[in-house]
Structure 1
Amino acid sequence: MRVAIFDFDGTLYPQETYKLMMNYLKKHPIHSTKYQPFYRALMKPYLAYKMKIYPENKMKAKSMQLYLDALKGLHQQEIETYFEDMSKEMRNELNQSVVDRLQKHLIEGDHVLLVSGAFTPMLNEVTRDLAIHNVIGTEIPMSNGILDTNKAIYHIQGERKNEMIEKALQGLDIDWKNSSAYGDSISDITVLELVGNPVAVRPESRLRAVAEKRKWEILW
C-alpha cells in the first residue's frame, strides 16, 4: 500500500491557522472579551521565543494551550460549534494545487493522511469533503463533556507526527519507497524523510535549502 501524507498549515491551507484563530477570538460576538487576557498571557512565551531563550516547539505547544485556556468552561457542543464556524470559509481558501495532488492520490488508490498540529475539529470541518482516510490533529481534552484545561494538550508537531502516522498505519504493509509526503516547513522534515517522494510546498528557507540539496520536488 502506498500512502500520501499532507501537512495542513502552509501546505493544504496556504496560511498559518493560529493567526486566524486569534483574529476569530478577537472579533467573536460572545467570546471577544477573552481576547485581551489571552493575548497578554501569550506574549510571555512568544517574546521568550523571539529572544531565542524558549524553543519553537514549546512556544507553539504553549500557544495552543493558552488558546484553549481562553475557552475554559465551554461544553463539547459549544467547542465544536466554535471551530466549525471558524472553519467554514477556510474550505474555499485551500491551496488548489495541493488539493489536486491529494485528489490524484485518492484516485490512484493511495491511503491519504492529513497530519497537523492544528486542532482536530478545525481539520475535520475544513476537509470534510476531501475523503481523507486519516485526519490526525491536536485533540481537545474534554472531561464530562466540558473543555478540561487542567489536561495538557499533546501538540502534534515534529517527530510526534511520525509517531501518530506509525500508530495510524499499524499492521499495514506500506510501500514507503513509492509513497509521498507534502510539507512546507523544516519541522516537516522527519515526515518528508519517511517517503521516496517528498514534496516541499512553497517551502520556507530552511526546508527549501534541504529540498534543493537533495533534489526533492518543490511545488510552488
Structure 2
Amino acid sequence: MRIAIYDLDNTLTRRATFTPFLIFAARRIAPWRLALLPVWLAMMIGYRAGLYDRTILKTGGMKLMVGKVGIATLQDVGRDFADRRVADDGLMPATLALLEEDRRQGARIAIATAAFEFYAAAFARHLDIDTVIATRWDGRSIPGGNCYSETKLARVRAWAAEQSHQLEDAELRFVSDSFADAPLLDLADDPIFISASSRKREKAKARGWRIISAD
C-alpha cells in the first residue's frame, strides 16, 4: 500500500495560513476585532518566548479574533478564505508535481496539518483530496490538542489503522516544510522537506531527508 501525506502550510500553500485566516475571519464576521490584532501579535511573541504552547496560542487566537461562531459559519468563511488564497497566491508548484506523481502511482493521499479542519478541508477540495487530518475546533477549545509534531503522528497512525493499515507496513511518502514534523519525516520511506532556506535544507539533508527547494 502506497500512502502519500502532505502538510498544508508552506508545503501545499505558499504561505502560512492561521494569522491570515484570523484577519480574514475578523473582517468578515466582526470587523471591530481587527483592532485587537496587536494583542494577537503580542500573544505570538509570548508563544515564541515559551510562555505557552501552540494549543493555548491558537485557542486564544480564535477566541480573540473570531469569537463564538458556529461551525457552519466557520466552514463558509474557511471556504471563502481558501478560495481567495488559492486565487491570489496559487499553490506550491513543486509540491503539486509530487501530488500528480502520487496520483499516477495510485497512492492513498491525505493532508495532515496543524491548520484548523474547517478551512484545511476547503484547501483539500481545491486539490481533490478527500482525507484531511487537521486540528479540530468545537467552538471553545481544541479537542485532542493541536495536530502538530507527535500529536500529528498519532492522528495519522489512527487514520491508517481505521483503513486497516499500519504505517510501518506501507510505502510512506511524507512532505513538509517543518522540523516539527520530524516524527513523520523520520518514519517515512520517502521523507521530503521543502524550503526556500538553504540553512534549513542543509539541516534536513543531514537527517537524510530528500530536499525540494521552495524558491
Q: Same fold (TM over 0.5)?
A: yes
Decide whether the 8 Å contact of 2:25 with 2:77 is kept in 1.
Answer: no
Distance 2:50 2:86 in 1: 37
Q: CA RMSD in A?
A: 2.4
Deviation at 1:132, TM superposition (A): 2.2
Q: Rate the CA distance shift 1:16–1:25 in 2: closer, same or farther, 3 A.
A: same
Q: 1:170-185 to 2 correspondence within 5 Å?
A: 170=161, 171-174=164-167, 178-185=171-178
Task: State the identity as a percent.
Answer: 18
* 1:210 correspondence with 2:208: no
- Structure 2 regions of 5+ residues with no counterpart? none
Q: Rate the CA distance shift 1:184–1:203 in 2: closer, same or farther, 3 A.
A: farther
Match of 1:167 among 130, 142, 158: 158
Distance 2:36 2:192 in 1: 40
Distance 1:168 1:53 in 2: 31
TM-score (norm 1): 0.82
Equivalent residue of 2:114, what SS? strand
Distance 2:72 2:192 in 1: 37
Per-residue CA distance 1:165-209 (angstroms, 9 max, x = gap) = 101100215565742111111101111011111111116567534
Amino acid at match of 1:200: F
Number of residue pairs matched by the alignment? 207
Distance 2:185 2:14 in 1: 18
TM-score (norm 2): 0.84
Match of 1:107 among 104, 108, 124: 104
Amino acid at match of 1:74: V
Structure 1 stretch displaced more, 181-190 or 194-203: 194-203
Decide whether the 8 Å contact of 1:184 with 1:204 is kept in 2.
Answer: no
Deviation at 1:103, TM superposition (A): 1.9
Distance 1:77 1:49 in 2: 29
Distance 1:53 1:12 in 2: 28
Distance 2:186 2:117 in 1: 24
Q: Rate the CA distance shift 1:90–1:29 in 2: closer, same or farther, 3 A.
A: closer
- Structure 1 regions of 5+ residues with no counterpart? 142-147
Amino acid at match of 2:134: G
* 1:48 correspondence with 2:46: yes
